[in-house]
Amino acid sequence: MGEMQTKEQLTPEDFLDPLEIPPIVKGAMADSKPYPAAPEHQEKLGFPGELVDDWHDRAIAKLGELASKYRGLRVYLDSCVKCGACTDKCHYFLGTGDPNNMPVARQDLLRQVWRRHYTFAGKYFPWLVGAKDLTEELLDEWYSYFHQCSQCRRCSVYCPYGIDTAEVSMAAREIMDTIGKGQKYCNEIIGKVHTVGNNLGLQAKALKATLEELEEEIEDDTGVSVRLPLDEKGAEIMLVTPSADFFAEPHIDGLIGYAKVFHQAGASWTISSHASEAANFGMFIGSYENMRKMALRIREAALDLGVKRIIFGECGHAWRAAYSFLNTLAGPFDFLDQNYPIPQHICEYTYDLIQRGVLKFDKSRNDHIRLTFHDSCNVARASRMGDMPGGQFEIPRAILRAVCNHFYDMAPETIREATFCCGGGGGLLTDELMDVRTKGAQPRIRALKEVIEEHGVTHMAAICAICKTQFAKIFPAYGIPMDTIVSVHQMVSNAIILDGEVRDDDDDDAEDDES
Amino acid sequence: MAGVGMLVTTVYAILFYLATLILVAGVGYRIWVYARTPAPLKIPTTPAPVTRAGVVMRIVREVVLFESLFKANKWIWVFGWVFHAGLLLVLLRHVRYFQEPVWKLIALIQPFGIYAGFAMVAGLLGLWARRLFVPRIRYISGPSDHLMLALIVAIGLSGLAMRYLAPTDIVAVKAFFLGLMTFDWQPLPADPVLLIHLTLVAILMMIFPVSKLLHAPGLFFSPGRNQVDNPRERRHLAPWAAELEAAEGRGR
């Protein structure tokens, strides 16, 4: 049993309070910096290739421009009273103890410059209100610490004024891009989406081959011919999913799950090679224009294929970009079927089918799994599913309970709106940031270890491509097997009963199968 | 004596006209800036209300109960709430200096207003203690944060001092402020504690629009709290974003 294995690997010091506040260690993470974007990555996005000569003046001007274009930023820069409510809410602070990872201190890196140049008190009494000019050292700190924010919005839940550090860090990153100090990981990826259509730079041909392989795999496993169509004009539904679903584990098992659900529902659906990416890293760098350009690809693909509905696969920030922003960026979608939410989440789609009794499950096929669920930050705090506030918490759980007999939530202060980021969100999912990613995952890992200990939990499901990749990568550092992380639709895929299926006898969980 | 009294009256009359002007114009200007600045994207912190009425209730809970702060930290919440609730009662108690006859409600809360003065100072001292003794909060505190607490504590203590230690002629004080409102100046008693109290209040009024006290109007304009969660149902488009679309011929 997985239960005993994992228990043996854990030592008492593993069972620490996920919310435990570390002592302050100044400058602990000052050296954590992502690789800078190369000139070609910058220029593809309309940014200067390298740091411009008049970077100081341009940065100050951009800050003023952003504050006049974004009410949120403007109000957030003015309103903080330094009450301290947010100081122990960031996973990167809890994991590192670096005081600049306290949300208020992170905001202040930008706010002190705002004060110096745009407020009466900061212009005439800078020492009184901590106003500072933008120096090269400070710019360096921006680069460091605004790339230690995963824009997960946990702090904004607790701020008495709703000050959202995500908005502040997006603004800071946009300013840095504008003066030629961009981040390689995000900007290179955005360039690929603009030119090829997905984060991976996966061409249509390769995508087609991948999908065909998956079709074969499903047929081998089940004896049922389940299709994963690409660029089929006239399909009713277009699925837009993170490109990690096409190749990474456990993402791909989720994609297989969507395909089985569509198959069993008898839906006519397709993936688009033009919009083969749900992720929108334009959000991470705070660039409305880049975000919009990527969103418009989805509109173009939907028009071109003549679909009636758009459904998004499992991806956290992508669901925010879709649910909250797609209509704004690329709407109005009056050419789609107005009887369905535009866009719709795959979990909403599956949940609806479950409610209507369309899908049949053999839950015992998941009996070897004792499951918990990680709420992904952007789904939890920046979007919704279903008609009711909080549907984003209930719907995935309802699906998991429908397909799995053993489900246990982690500590209430670490899930739902209080959920912790996986540590790799917001454009930080790159190898050179592994240290901060590992440390930032600590609160979630501790909460997970609690349920491993208490309920013998063996797996944790997530609905975000970044979460899945991040956990698979950092679990081993915490002594947890990397395949502990699973997709929600992987669980659906395991349990769903396909019409005419043939169950393979040497399936490793066949002995647990009671059906 | 008459000359000094006249001088004090004149100085404080001008001071309070000025302070009122700065407060009203300054905060009014800020509100105008906030209202005019577009919010181009739907960014309510979810779960968020899906109706306008729900949003009004969310803001009311934030203003009255400090809901988010309660979730965050019970100590900051209790000190902060006691201070603000105390301040509200104290302010209401002071309304009597600006009206004749006095409203029934204002007359009714007079006794509570005194306790509220103590509560207010106690709350402030609690917040200040956290600023001094909790390392995280000490780290984020600047000179202005301490001075702001000192200023409001001094206002509270000087007010309480007039109630218990060095009473002033409140009938004359009331005549002074009623006179200010009708531009018919009446003499202000030249009691030191009163003058200190009034000076500090005038300073607070004047720094309001250029300080963190802007959190008061800010809350109402915070998109994380005041937006309705309905981006799929309703297209939300800022004027500058609409211009982007119009520029490439994709309008609406």
CATH no., domain A23-189: 1.10.1060
Distance CA A54, CA A51 (A): 9
Question: Per-residue pLDDT for A274 more than 50?
Answer: yes
Taking an 8 Å cut-off on Cβ atoms, the answer to whether A157 and B71 are in contact is yes
Q: What is the pLDDT of residues B79-102, one digit of tens each?
A: 999 999 999 999 999 999 999 999
- In degrees, to the nearest 5, what angle opens at C-alpha A189 toward C-alphas A187 and A190? 65
Please tell me whether the peptide bond between B47 and the residue prior to it is cis, using omega within 30 degrees of 0: yes
Q: What percent of chain A has pLDDT over 70?
A: 95
How far B184 CA lies from chain A's nearest CA (Å)? 34
Say if CB A128 and CB A14 are below 8 A apart.
no
The three-class DSSP label of residue A509 is coil
b/e map of B13-24 (b: 16 or more CB within 10 Å)? bebbeebeebbe
Question: Per-residue pLDDT for A436 more than 70?
Answer: yes
Enumerate residues 93 to 152 of chain A having a beta carbon within 8 A of any beta carbon in chain B: 99, 102, 104-105, 108, 119-121, 127-130
Block residue for tokens 């001092």:
B161
Block residue for tokens 């201070």:
B83
Query: What is the interface pTM, i.e. ipTM, of the complex?
Result: 0.94
Question: Per-residue pLDDT for A386 more than 60?
Answer: yes
Distance CA A451, CA A467 (A): 18
Instruction: Enumerate helices (H) and strands (E) in chain A, giving the number of each.
Output: 24, 7
Chain B residues close to A102, C-beta within 8 Å: 136, 139-140
Residue A514: the pLDDT is 42
Chain B nearest-CA residue for A416: B47
Predicted TM-score (pTM) above 0.90? yes
Which residue, among B123, B63, B27, B229, has the nearest Cα to A160 in the 3D structure?
B63
The shortest CB-CB distance from B45 to any of A119, A156, A332 is to A156
Least confident of A316-320, B205-209, B242-246: B242-246
**Cα of B11 vs its chain's centroid, Å:** 25
Which residue, among A150, A146, A312, has the nearest Cα to A237 in the 3D structure?
A312
Residue to substitute from A89, A156, A161, interface B, most B β-carbons within 10 A: A161
Distance CA A487, CA A245 (A): 10
Q: What is the pLDDT of residues A166-223, one digit of tens each?
A: 999 999 999 999 999 999 999 999 999 999 888 888 899 999 999 999 999 999 999 9
Q: pLDDT-based confidence at A369, cuts 50/70/90?
A: very high
Contact with chain A for residue B183, Cβ under 8 A: no
Chain A residues close to B46, C-beta within 8 Å: 380-384, 389, 392, 417
Residue A248: the pLDDT is 94
Tell me the β-bridge partners of A461.
A373, A486
Size of interface A-B (CB pairs under 8 A): 210
B49 dihedral zone (left: phi>0; alpha: psi -120 to 50; beta): beta
Chain A residues close to B66, C-beta within 8 Å: 160
Angle separating helix axes A251-265 and A346-355, nearest 10 degrees: 40
Least confident of A88-97, B23-32, B147-156, B242-251: B242-251
Say if CB B187 and CB B171 are below 8 A apart.
no
CATH number at residue B201: 1.20.950.20
Say if CB A379 and CB A320 are below 8 A apart.
yes
Residue A2: the pLDDT is 39
Chain A residues close to B45, C-beta within 8 Å: 153, 156-157, 162, 164, 381-382
Contact with chain B for residue A331, Cβ under 8 A: yes
Taking an 8 Å cut-off on Cβ atoms, the answer to whether B40 and A328 are in contact is yes
Which residue, among A292, A341, A353, has the nearest Cα to A312 in the 3D structure?
A341
Least confident of A127-141, A190-204, A382-396, B114-128: A190-204
Residue B114: the pLDDT is 87
Q: How many domains in chain B?
A: 1
Residue A4: the pLDDT is 40
Say if CB A156 and CB A169 are below 8 A apart.
no
Which residue, among A269, A161, A212, has the nearest Cα to B62 in the 3D structure?
A161
Taking an 8 Å cut-off on Cβ atoms, the answer to whether B218 and A75 are in contact is yes
Question: Per-residue pLDDT for A408 more than 70?
Answer: yes
Q: What is the pLDDT of residues A452-476, one digit of tens each?
A: 999 999 999 999 999 999 999 999 9
- The answer for residues whose C-beta is within 8 angstroms of residue A338's C-beta and 6 or more apart is none
Distance CA B213, CA B44 (A): 23
Q: What is the pLDDT of residues B171-181, one digit of tens each?
A: 999 999 999 99
Chain B residues close to A163, C-beta within 8 Å: 222, 224
Residue A13: the pLDDT is 57
Average pLDDT of A312-326?
A: 97
Chain B residues close to A100, C-beta within 8 Å: none
CA atoms within 13 A on the CB side of B58: 29
Average pLDDT of A280-304?
A: 96
The shortest CB-CB distance from B72 to any of A85, A325, A384 is to A85
One-letter amino acid of A353: L
Taking an 8 Å cut-off on Cβ atoms, the answer to whether A162 and B210 are in contact is no
Domain membership of residue B54 as a residue range: 2-247
Q: pLDDT-based confidence at A513, cuts 50/70/90?
A: very low
Residue A11: the pLDDT is 55
Distance CA B58, CA B222 (A): 12
Contacts by residues A290-296 (CB-CB < 8 Å, ≥ 24 positions apart): A290/A45, A290/A46, A290/A190, A290/A194, A291/A321, A291/A325, A291/A329, A292/A329, A292/A330, A292/B241, A292/B244, A293/A194, A294/A190, A294/A193, A294/A194, A295/A321, A295/A325, A295/A326, A295/A329, A295/A330, A296/A329, A296/A330
How far apart, in Å, are the Cα atoms of A351 and each of A258, A354, A385, B44, B153?
12, 5, 10, 25, 56
Angle separating helix axes A251-265 and A204-222, nearest 10 degrees: 70
Q: pLDDT-based confidence at B248, cuts 50/70/90?
A: confident
Say if CB B49 and CB A389 are below 8 A apart.
yes
Q: What is the pLDDT of residues B114-129, one digit of tens each?
A: 899 999 999 999 999 9
Residue B3: the pLDDT is 80
Q: What is the residue extent of each domain of chain A?
A: 23-189, 196-408+457-512
Q: What is the pLDDT of residues A322-351, one digit of tens each?
A: 999 999 999 899 999 999 999 999 999 999
**Cα of B85 vs its chain's centroid, Å:** 11
**Cα of A186 vs its chain's centroid, Å:** 13
Say if CB A330 and CB B235 are below 8 A apart.
no
Q: What is the pLDDT of residues B30-64, one digit of tens each?
A: 999 999 999 999 999 999 999 999 999 999 999 99
B252 is a domain residue:
no
Mean pLDDT of chain B: 95
Taking an 8 Å cut-off on Cβ atoms, the answer to whether A331 and B76 are in contact is no
Residue B250: the pLDDT is 67
Q: What is the pLDDT of residues A7-51, one digit of tens each?
A: 445 555 556 899 999 999 999 999 999 999 999 999 999 999 999
- The answer for residues whose C-beta is within 8 angstroms of residue B172's C-beta and 6 or more apart is B186, B187, B188, B189
Question: Per-residue pLDDT for A58 more than 70?
Answer: yes
> Which residue would you say has higher pLDDT here, A434 or A198?
A434
Block residue for tokens 């259509």:
A197
How far A8 CA lies from chain B's nearest CA (Å)? 35
Q: pLDDT-based confidence at A515, cuts 50/70/90?
A: very low
Reading the block at residue A126, the tokens are 């800078």
Residue A503: the pLDDT is 75
